[in-house]
Amino acid sequence: MATPNTRRRRPGRPAGSSDTRDRILASARELFARNGIRNTSIRAVAAAAGVDSALVHHYFGTKETLFAAAVHIPIDPMEVIGPLRAVPVEELGYRLPSMLLPLWDSEIGAGFIATLRSILAGSETNLFRSFIQDVIAVEVGTRVDNPAGSGIIRIQYVASQLVGV
């Protein structure tokens, strides 16, 4: 039997401010920079942040969306890269810039370019390198890997031209 002074815990979020989302993002930044996107799992991010992996999925959905949030990219990279799967290889050189240039000229694009440039100028260059190698190269690099072994170099070159480095 409960004593009169015992309070029942109410369901829902505990009282006080929650820094859970910020802890998840900080852990993600650290792990993405250290291990790369491909070698960082949602579970590893959750463990480093001291939360359950379901909570990471609740806040961010996919690993790519988590990465975008961790480096302050205002769009989901797969929204841009995903449609390239259907583009014939011969048209990639034309279609990629024609897809990205309208984005660059938008309000979102200005923030995106500023974020990428600050990443490249700062201490988070490993995050950008990881993004190029683990996301873009996986999606597009194998399609342009001719001669064999040149796909990643081609992707890095195109990325440097598009970002303006």
- Helix (H) / strand (E) containing 160: helix 151-163
Residues in the chain: 165
**How far apart are alpha carbons 102 and 36 in whole angstroms?**
29
The pLDDT > 70 percentage for the chain reads 73
What is the tens place of the pLDDT at every residue in 8-28? 655 545 554 479 999 999 899
What is the tens place of the pLDDT at every residue in 23-36? 999 899 888 878 87
Q: How many CB atoms lie within 10 A of CB 117?
A: 14
Residue ranges, comma separated, of all CATH 1.10.10.60 domains in the chain are 18-70
Fold of 18-70: Arc Repressor Mutant, subunit A (1.10.10)
DSSP state of 89: G
For 12, the 3-state DSSP assignment is: coil
**How far apart are alpha carbons 57 and 24 in whole angstroms?**
11
What is the tens place of the pLDDT at every residue in 126-163? 667 777 777 777 778 888 888 898 888 888 888 777 66
CA 91 to chain centroid? 26
Output the pTM of the full model.
0.55
Which residues in the chain belong to E strands, given as ranges?
none
